């Protein structure tokens, strides 16, 4: 953390007075993402230990900005410390904007227009900037080649199929993987492939899109990135909108290269499939293997995409064993159970320190409750509690002895219960309840744990607790 504060002060000649971690256990990248700000300026700090990936991001960022593409300015860097500062585009991702501007299949015109703008910019990354890109800095591979594809397919096989208990013939599945790989590589693949072109990696600021997280980019086919965007699992775009955006994308490609629509579509759905397999592998690794249950919430949406493809698309190649595995996935009781869990209301409960800024709702909907626990007796003022947290028995006992704490919790639960009832009635999927105190160590942690304990007994409610300052202690 100190290195980011130093970079901030060197770049802006003024210290950061607010430091706010932006990504905790819900993130899957391993990066620490931190907002540093004062009354005049704000920046995003990144701490990440993989030098090659940092070099790729910084190199690509500078090239994209040279081409006038909407990506963050790099303010400062210290590669030896795995740290850099970049431009801050605010808090609204395309996914969050979509979530706030839809009712089921009905998506508001503002969200459709945001997607149209995103699709229109994509060919500029792939073709215009891609012509000048130094692919030698790509990490871990310079192209989406046979090795890259094998990694993704095996990720799916071992971390999703195996862990979900889906039976398959290994040799026959490998034969299908070979067939699919050969077909994918027969498409023209001399363009920049963004690799993770999805709604959470696109920010909206002043109604314009800005793009992040292209450090995994490499040379590849045009079809992959638009497939990633349109079949982004939890975005769950309606088929009609997908088709409209795909048609727009193909037209925009024509401004840069001569494109044969039929040839593009000949390969397109194979790239949709391989992107879905990659995503399922990631959900399986994070969810089944690492036991981070929230990643499994995306599985039902990915399976919905698989079901639509099976009923509406015929590939130019035969993949009988893979298709059999898909049908087994759709019939799996274990995976159907995940679909049932996806219908639950997820209440995200967070403790935090007011000194380090307000929490961000990572559920994609904004809002929720923020309760201030600083009026309650503070265990942190007593020496015997200083090394403990609100999860430790002595602190819990101390706070349980305070009448004011019970009155506070009773008021909180009255409000939260009313919202939970209404959210369930209306079919909402996410509510955030946050508790702040001075240090984010005692009172807020205790309150978050108590509310989670009470909500976990309710049908149709999943309580997910996160203690921000315990995860990322101040340095």
Residue 31's pLDDT band (cuts 50, 70, 90): confident
Contact (CB, 8 A) for 266 and 302: no
Q: How wide is the angle at C-alpha 23 spanned by C-alphas 443 and 11, nearest 5°? A: 105
The predicted pLDDT at position 366 comes to: 58
- The domain made up of 94-341 is a member of CATH 3.90.1200.10: yes
The predicted pLDDT at position 363 comes to: 57
Q: What percent of the chain has pLDDT over 70?
A: 96
The predicted pLDDT at position 339 comes to: 64
Unique residue bearing structure tokens 């993989």: 50
The predicted pLDDT at position 27 comes to: 52
> Token pair of 143, please?
């192209």
Better-predicted residue by pLDDT, 363 or 382: 382
Taking all residues of the chain, what is their mean pLDDT, rounded to a whole number?
A: 92
Give domain limits for the chain.
2-87, 94-341, 344-471
Mean pLDDT of 152-161: 97
The predicted pLDDT at position 139 comes to: 96
Mean pLDDT of 29-48: 92
Does pLDDT of 62 surpass 50?
yes
Contact (CB, 8 A) for 197 and 144: no
Reduce the secondary structure of 429-472 to three states and give it as a string.
CEEEEEEEECCCCCHHHHHHHHHHHHHCCCCCEEEEEEEHHHHC
Residue 81's pLDDT band (cuts 50, 70, 90): very high
Does pLDDT of 26 surpass 90?
no
Does pLDDT of 25 surpass 50?
no
> Token pair of 90, please?
């605010």
Mean pLDDT of 443-450: 96
First-to-last C-alpha distance (Å) of the chain: 6
Does pLDDT of 268 surpass 80?
yes
The string of pLDDT tens digits covering residues 379-389 is: 999 999 999 99
The predicted pLDDT at position 472 comes to: 74
Q: How wide is the angle at C-alpha 375 spanned by C-alphas 372 and 377, nearest 5°? A: 120
Which of the following CATH numbers is that of domain 2-87: 3.30.200.20, 1.10.3720.10, 3.40.50.300, 3.40.1280.30? 3.30.200.20
The string of pLDDT tens digits covering residues 271-306 is: 999 999 999 999 999 989 988 777 888 899 999 999
Mean pLDDT of 88-100: 93
The predicted pLDDT at position 461 comes to: 86
How many C-beta atoms surround the C-beta of residue 90 within 10 A? 12
Least confident window among 18-22, 238-242, 318-322, 369-373: 18-22
The string of pLDDT tens digits covering residues 185-216 is: 999 999 999 999 999 999 999 999 999 999 99
Strands 18-21, 32-37: pairing is antiparallel
| Torsional class of 472: left (φ above 0), alpha (ψ -120 to 50), beta (otherwise) | beta
Does pLDDT of 117 surpass 90?
yes
Q: What percent of the chain has pLDDT over 90?
A: 81
> Token pair of 1, please?
């953390």
Residue 365's pLDDT band (cuts 50, 70, 90): low
The predicted pLDDT at position 60 comes to: 98
> Token pair of 237, please?
């775009």
Reduce the secondary structure of the chain to three states and give it as a string.
CHHHHHHHHHHHCCCCCEEEECCCCCCCCCCEEEEEECCCCEEEEEECCCHHHHHHHHHHHHHHHHCCCCCCCEEEEEHHHCEEEEECCCCCEHHHHHHHCEECCEECHHHHHHHHHHHHHHHHHHHHHHHHCCHHHCCCCCECCHHHHHHHHHHHHHHHHHHHCCCCCHHHHHHHHHHHHHHHHCCCCCEEECCCCCHHHEEEECCEEEECCCCCCEEECCHHHHHHHHCCCCCCCCHHHHHHHHHHHHHHHCCCCCCCHHHHHHHHHHHHHHHHHHHHHHHHHHHHHCCCHHHHHHHHHHHHHHHHHHHHCCCCCCCHHHHHHHHHHHHCHHHHHHHHHHCCEEEEEEEEEHHHCCCCCCCCCCCCEEEEHHHCCCHHHCHHHCCCCCCCHHHHHHHHCCHHHHHHHHHHHHHHHHHHHHHHHHCCCEEEEEEEECCCCCHHHHHHHHHHHHHCCCCCEEEEEEEHHHHCCCC
Mean pLDDT of 212-238: 96
Residue 415's pLDDT band (cuts 50, 70, 90): very high
The predicted pLDDT at position 291 comes to: 80
Does pLDDT of 24 surpass 60?
no
């Amino acid at each position: 953390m100190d290195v980011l504060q130093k970079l901030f002060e060197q770049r802006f000649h003024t210290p950061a007075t607010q430091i706010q971690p932006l990504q905790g256990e819900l993130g899957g990248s391993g990066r620490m993402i931190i907002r540093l700000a004062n009354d005049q300026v704000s920046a995003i700090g990144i701490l990440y230990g993989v030098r090659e990936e940092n070099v790729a991001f910084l190199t690509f960022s500078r090239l994209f900005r040279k081409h006038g593409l909407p990506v963050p300015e790099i303010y400062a860097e210290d590669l030896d410390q795995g740290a850099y500062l970049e431009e801050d585009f605010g808090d609204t991702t395309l996914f969050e904007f979509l979530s706030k501007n839809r009712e089921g299949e009905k998506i508001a015109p503002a969200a459709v227009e945001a997607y149209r703008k995103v699709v229109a910019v994509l060919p500029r990354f792939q073709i215009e900037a891609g012509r000048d890109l130094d692919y030698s800095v790509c990490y871990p591979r310079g192209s989406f080649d046979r090795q890259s594809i094998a990694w993704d397919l095996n990720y799916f096989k071992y971390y999703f199929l195996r862990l979900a208990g889906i039976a398959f013939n290994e040799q026959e599945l490998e034969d299908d993987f070979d067939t699919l790989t050969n077909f994918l590589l027969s498409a023209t693949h001399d363009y920049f492939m963004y690799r993770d072109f999805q709604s959470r990696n696109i920010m909206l600021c002043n109604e314009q899109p800005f793009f992040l997280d292209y450090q995994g980019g490499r040379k590849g086919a045009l079809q992959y990135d638009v497939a990633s965007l349109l079949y982004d699992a939890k975005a769950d775009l309606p088929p009609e909108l997908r088709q409209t955006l795909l048609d727009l994308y193909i037209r925009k490609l024509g401004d840069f290269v001569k494109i044969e629509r039929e040839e593009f579509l000949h390969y397109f759905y194979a790239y949709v499939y391989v992107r879905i397999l990659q995503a399922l592998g990631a959900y399986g690794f994070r969810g089944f293997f690492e036991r981070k249950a929230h990643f499994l919430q995306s599985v039902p949406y990915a399976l919905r995409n698989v079901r639509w493809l099976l009923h509406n698309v015929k590939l130019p190649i035969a993949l009988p064993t893979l298709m059999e595995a898909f049908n087994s996935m759709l019939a799996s009781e274990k995976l159907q159970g995940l679909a049932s869990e996806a219908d639950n209301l997820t209440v995200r409960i967070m403790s935090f320190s007011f000194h380090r800024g307000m929490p961000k709702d990572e559920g994609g909907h904004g809002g929720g409750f923020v309760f201030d626990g600083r009026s309650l007796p503070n265990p942190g003022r007593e020496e015997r509690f200083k090394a403990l947290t609100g999860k430790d028995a002595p602190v819990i006992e101390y706070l349980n002895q305070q009448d004011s704490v019970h009155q506070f919790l009773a008021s909180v639960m009255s409000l939260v219960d009313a919202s939970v009832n209404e959210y369930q009635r209306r079919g909402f999927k996410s509510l955030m309840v946050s508790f702040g105190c001075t240090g984010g160590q005692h009172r807020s942690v205790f309150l978050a744990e108590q509310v989670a304990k009470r909500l976990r007994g309710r049908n149709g409610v999943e309580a997910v607790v996160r203690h921000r300052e315990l995860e990322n202690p101040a340095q």
